């Protein structure tokens, strides 16, 4: 139950160690590779809101057993116990989970700054890995993951749910069929208006948090309950709007256009409402320039929800509008009218990523 080989989505879903888990997370039918009496023994590291969302899908898969849980926050472990196998073991120290020989693969949904260390350690422990985005915060971390995967021959997959949504798949087909002509500009937007900027009292019992373990490879600092619950907006733990939201849609751009990396990147940010509370900006603009004169522009804010979350691929023949609910193709010769549209499922993962107050550890 421990496959080797090419790290591709197809191989991940077909691999006997991770097929059913991958199917559950991506909402596609499971490949029948496990025997009638076999189960994938899955360990889950970081059992907060995102993990619990995935656990509800995994609970419907008969060939997956959520056998081990790890989190440094007791309330998260308590909530996850209700969704996992009744006999699942629990720990606050992820190396203890990785040491277990009965665990085939792990799902990592920890805060971002732990993604790379946990993925590298999981590969070294002989486990295949599904890890939430963003995988890394810099190029050096990315190389460390590649080296670990190559050295130990394990599968590493990063979660990006847009790739399984039908409207994204159909839109990709239209673009690849040449319906847009030459794509020269892509506009990405992810806007919200959320009341997250107040330093409200959260009443978290410090004894329920292993703060030293939470900080991990980040700099040592006094316990702060606001940072603990809102870690995405502090540089030691997260990357703000760019690594939390832009990462979703820049992945779509690279997928649709077979891109590797930009030649140039420029970004500016501002604190409109979060000054003195967040470290990362609450309003961001980013311009990426690629080969063949392609420009990709991202704008995101937490201070105005206009336009929500969407992408526009602009080509010489048409513009393709896309979001988590639908796509629209607007031919250039028929300005103001869309040729076709489709409603997508939209809800897979959307309740977590789009709900203004839904960001959890």
State the average pLDDT over residues 193-220. Answer: 86
pLDDT > 90? residue 87: yes
- Predicted confidence band of residue 344 (pLDDT cuts 50, 70, 90): low
Measured distance CA(198)–CA(226) in Å, rounded? 10
- Predicted confidence band of residue 25 (pLDDT cuts 50, 70, 90): low
- Predicted confidence band of residue 201 (pLDDT cuts 50, 70, 90): confident
User: How much is the mean pLDDT over the chain?
Assistant: 86
Report helix, strand or coil for 328: strand
State the average pLDDT over residues 174-188. Answer: 97
Measured distance CA(273)–CA(244) in Å, rounded? 18
pLDDT > 60? residue 27: no
pLDDT > 90? residue 239: yes
Report helix, strand or coil for 38: coil
State the pLDDT at residue 37.
Answer: 54
Q: Which has more confidence, 359 or 103?
A: 103
Measured distance CA(44)–CA(66) in Å, rounded? 7
DSSP letters, 75-127, are HHHHHHHTTS-TT-EEES-HHHHHT-TT--EEEE-S-GGGHHHHHHHHHHTT-
State the average pLDDT over residues 243-270. Answer: 96
State the pLDDT at residue 332.
Answer: 82
State the pLDDT at residue 340.
Answer: 59
**What is the per-residue pLDDT across 303-342, written as a single tens digit (0 to 9) for each?**
999 889 999 999 999 999 999 999 999 998 654 555 555 6
State the average pLDDT over residues 233-254. Answer: 96
State the average pLDDT over residues 299-303. Answer: 96
Q: Is omega for the bond preceding 134 within 30 degrees of 0, making it cis?
A: yes
State the average pLDDT over residues 205-223. Answer: 94
- Predicted confidence band of residue 39 (pLDDT cuts 50, 70, 90): confident
DSSP letters, 17-36, are TTHHHHHHHHTSPPP--S-T
Percent of the chain with pLDDT over 70: 81
Q: Which residues pair with 168 in a beta bridge?
A: none
pLDDT > 60? residue 217: yes
State the pLDDT at residue 6.
Answer: 42
pLDDT > 80? residue 99: yes
CA dist 153 → 147, 148, 241 (Å)? 10, 8, 33
Residue 207 DSSP one-character state: G
Q: What structural domains does the chain harbor?
A: 9-159 (3.40.50.720), 163-197+228-354 (3.30.360.10)
Dihedral angle, C-alpha 75, 77, 82, 88, nearest 10 °: -160
pLDDT > 70? residue 3: no
Report helix, strand or coil for 309: strand
- Predicted confidence band of residue 248 (pLDDT cuts 50, 70, 90): very high
State the average pLDDT over residues 23-43. Answer: 59
Measured distance CA(155)–CA(11) in Å, rounded? 9
Q: Which has more confidence, 336 or 178?
A: 178
pLDDT > 50? residue 199: yes
CA angle 134, 76, 218 (to 5 degrees): 45
Q: Which of the residue ranges 96-110, 246-260, 327-341 would you say has the lowest mean pLDDT?
A: 327-341
CB crowding 228-245: b at 16 or more within 10 Å, else e: bbbbbbbebbbbbbbbbb
Please name the helix (run of DSSP H) or strand (run of DSSP E) that holds residue 290, with its range, or none: none
């Amino acid at each position: 139950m421990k496959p080797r080989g090419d790290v591709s989505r197809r191989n991940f879903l077909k691999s006997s160690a991770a097929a059913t888990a991958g199917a559950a997370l991506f909402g596609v039918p499971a490949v029948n590779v496990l025997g009638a009496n076999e189960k994938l023994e899955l360990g889950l590291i970081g059992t907060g809101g995102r993990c619990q969302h995935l656990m509800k899908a995994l609970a419907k898969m008969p060939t997956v057993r959520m056998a081990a849980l790890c989190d440094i926050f007791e309330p998260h472990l308590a909530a996850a116990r209700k969704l996992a196998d009744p006999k699942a073991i629990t720990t606050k120290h992820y190396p203890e989970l990785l040491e277990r020989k009965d665990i085939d693969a792990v799902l990592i949904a920890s805060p971002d700054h732990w993604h790379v260390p946990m993925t590298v350690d999981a590969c070294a422990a002989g486990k295949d890995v599904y890890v939430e985005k963003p995988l890394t915060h810099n190029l050096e971390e990315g190389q460390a993951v590649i080296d670990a995967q190559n050295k130990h021959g394990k599968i590493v997959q990063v979660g990006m749910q847009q790739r399984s949504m039908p409207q994204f798949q159909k839109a990709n087909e239209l673009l690849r069929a040449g319906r847009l002509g030459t794509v020269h500009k892509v506009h990405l937007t992810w806007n919200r208006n959320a009341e997250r900027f107040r330093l409200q009292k959260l009443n978290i019992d410090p004894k329920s948090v292993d703060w030293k373990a939470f900080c991990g490879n980040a700099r040592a600092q006094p316990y702060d309950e606001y940072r603990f619950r809102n870690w995405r907006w502090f540089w030691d733990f997260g990357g703000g709007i760019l690594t939390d939201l832009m990462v979703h849609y820049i992945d779509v751009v690279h997928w649709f256009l077979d891109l590797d990396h930009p030649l140039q990147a420029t970004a500016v940010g501002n604190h409109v409402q979060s000054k003195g509370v967040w470290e990362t900006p609450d309003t961001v603009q980013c311009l990426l320039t690629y080969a063949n004169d392609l420009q990709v522009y991202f704008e995101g804010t937490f201070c105005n929800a206009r336009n929500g979350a969407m992408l526009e691929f602009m080509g010489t023949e048409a513009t393709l509008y896309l979001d988590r609910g639908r796509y629209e193709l607007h031919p250039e010769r028929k300005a103001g009218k869309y040729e076709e549209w489709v409603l997508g499922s939209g809800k897979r993962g959307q309740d977590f990523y789009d709900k203004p107050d839904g960001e959890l550890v």
